Structure 1
Amino acid sequence: MRPQSTTVLDANALLALVMGGSAAEPGPKPARVMLSAPVGLWLSEDGTVRLDIKTDGTYDGQVAGRRRRAHGTYHIDGALMTLSDHDSGLHTPVALYDGELEMAGHRLGLAH
């Protein structure tokens, strides 16, 4: 029997597949972890990535220049939120920090 090949994608590659954006290089991580659901509209600093986390356990996402919007449900386990896209079936990990989300190298802040 021949061993199977496995491709491992990091969070940066997954976001690029799901949302089609190019991700920024990851920088230093904030020290404090967010402990509650990050409900609200989150934006990257340049406004190209939007993530709307809703109280009903769903989300909507958009990357500038892409026609297809990501949408689905989310699940939180400690400091990790997993987005499950309804159309593609892909799961995207999101690190939860105090005042910031990190998704595939993109840092998102809560919109004011």
Structure 2
Amino acid sequence: MQTSSIPHVDTTVLDATALLAIAMGRTPDTGLGPVLKRPQVVTGAAVVGAWRSPDGTVQLQLRTDGTYAGEVAGRRKRPSGTYRLDGDSLLLHDDISGLRTPVAVLHQGELEMAGHRLHPA
């Protein structure tokens, strides 16, 4: 019997579910599940909605799909991206700049972000 000089190569074929699971950091047997989680409720008040500083220099829109859009006076680029709720704080992640901004959820129904107090708009 002759042995081949060609080394054995593993050629694994993956279906669409397996490829999606790998791309999303999951294993196929755990299921794909939702990519973005709906924001949680903190101290009985939902964080989802429009927020604004009293002087109007900072505005923030938190959406139910885990994304946000904002506006800061004097800044040409509007911040936007995703957010994650962790206990009594949010972490905003800007899609373009990669900037991560912590936001405190205060029990008085306010948000505090970068020294600005935001109230429901």
Q: TM-score range by the shorter chain?
A: 0.5 to 0.7
Shift of 1:64: 1.2
Paired residue for 2:115? 105
Aligned length: 79
1:14-43 per-position Cα deviation (integer Å, ceiling 9, x unaligned): xxxxxxxxxxxxxxxxxxx74654011100
Paired residue for 1:67? 76
Partners of 1:108 and 1:49 in 2: how far apart?
A: 8
Partners of 2:84 and 2:66 in 1: how far apart?
A: 7
Partners of 1:37 and 1:90 in 2: how far apart?
A: 24
Task: Structure 2: state its 5+ residue gaps.
Answer: 1-41
Residue number among 84, 93, 100 corresponding to 1:91 in the alignment: 100
What is the percentage of aligned positions where both structures have the same residue? 61
RMSD: 1.5
Partners of 1:107 and 1:65 in 2: how far apart?
A: 18
Shift of 1:97: 1.5
Tell me, yes or no, if structure 1 residue 48 matches structure 2 residue 84.
no
Paired residue for 1:25? none
Q: Which amino acid aligns with 1:51?
A: L
Higher alpha-carbon Rg = 2
Query: Structure 1 length normalisation: TM-score?
Result: 0.66
Q: Which amino acid aligns with 1:84?
A: H
Task: Structure 1: state its 5+ residue gaps.
Answer: 1-32
- Partner of 2:97, secondary structure, is coil
Shift of 1:104: 1.2
Q: Which has the higher contact order (CA 8 A, sep 6+)?
A: 1
Q: Is the 8 A contact 1:35 1:78 kept in 2?
A: no
Shift of 1:67: 1.3
